[in-house]
Structure 1
Amino acid sequence: MKYLRTLTIGLFCLLIYVSIGIAETLPERTEVKSPTGAAIRSALLPGWGQFYNRKPLKGCLILCAESFLLTEIILETRDSNISISDRRRRNTFILWWSGIKLYAILDAYVDAHLCGLGREEGILTLGVIQDPDDCGVMLFYRFCL
C-alpha cells in the first residue's frame, strides 16, 4: 500500500506521455471538402461529387451506370404506343436510376466528411482505472476497418 501512491503517479505520468505521443502522430486534416457541395455536385451531374472528392474510379462507374440507365429510360419512352411490358421495363430502369442517384449523392456527402483523414494502422493507448475499491491499468488498441 505504501507504494500505491507512487505507482499511481508514475502510471499517470506514463499515461500523459503516451497521450502526448499519440496526439502528435494523429493525422491532420490537410484538405477540407464541403459535404453539401459534394452532394449537390453529385445530384447535378453523374459522378461529379465523386470526382470532387478525388475518387475517379467511383466517379467513372457512377457516370457509366447513370448514363446507361438514362439512355435506356429515354429509349423506352420515345414510342408513344408502348406495351405494358415496355412500361414495366422503363419503370424498372427509373427505379434503378433513382437508387444509383441516391447512392451517389450519399456517397459523395460521406466521402467529403472523411476527406483528409488518414487511415491509422493502429493506436495503442494506456488508461488508468480509477475506482475507490480497485486500482489498475488498462491497455487499449484502436484500429480502423
Structure 2
Amino acid sequence: MDAVSGWSMVPVGVLVSVLLARHARRADVALRARSLHPRRLRIPAPIRSRLLIALARADLAVGPEDAVGRLAIAALATAVLTAAIAPGLALPAAVAVLVAGPVWLRLARDRADRRSAAELPGALDRTAAVLRAGGTVGEAVEVLAGGSGP
C-alpha cells in the first residue's frame, strides 16, 4: 500500500466519524445511562415500613435503604480492619456491628418525642409573643415554620 492509497481512506474515516457522532447525539443516552447505575437495595415492604417508623422515632433523617447500606458498610469496614489486627476476631466483630445497629435503633426510639417535648415550650413562647404583638395565628405559624428551633 503506497502513500496515495492510504490518503484515500481519510475522507471515508471522516465521513464515518461524522455519521457516528450524529447518530450518537440522536440516541437516547439518558435511558442507557440510567441502566448503568447499580440497582438500589430493595427491602421487603413490611420490614421497610417498620424500619422507616423506627428511624423516624429515633430522629434520623435517613431512608431505610441507606440505613441498611451504611450498617453493611460499617460491618464490612470493621471486619477488614479487625482482620488486619486480629484475623480470628474479624467475623465476631462484624456480627457485633450488625447486632449493635438495631440495638442502638431500639434504644434511641424515643429520641424524636424527647426533642419535640423539649422544643414545645419555646414554640409556645414564640407563638404567644406574636399574638401579644397583634399578629394572627397564621403569622405565628409562619414564624414557627421559618424558625430554626429554640
Provide TM-score, normalisation by structure 1: 0.31
Give the structure with the higher percent strand: 1
Q: Tell which structure's C-alpha radius of gyration is larger.
A: 2
- Ranked by relative contact order (alpha carbons within 8 Å, sequence separation 6 or more), the top structure is 1
Give the structure with the higher percent helix: 2
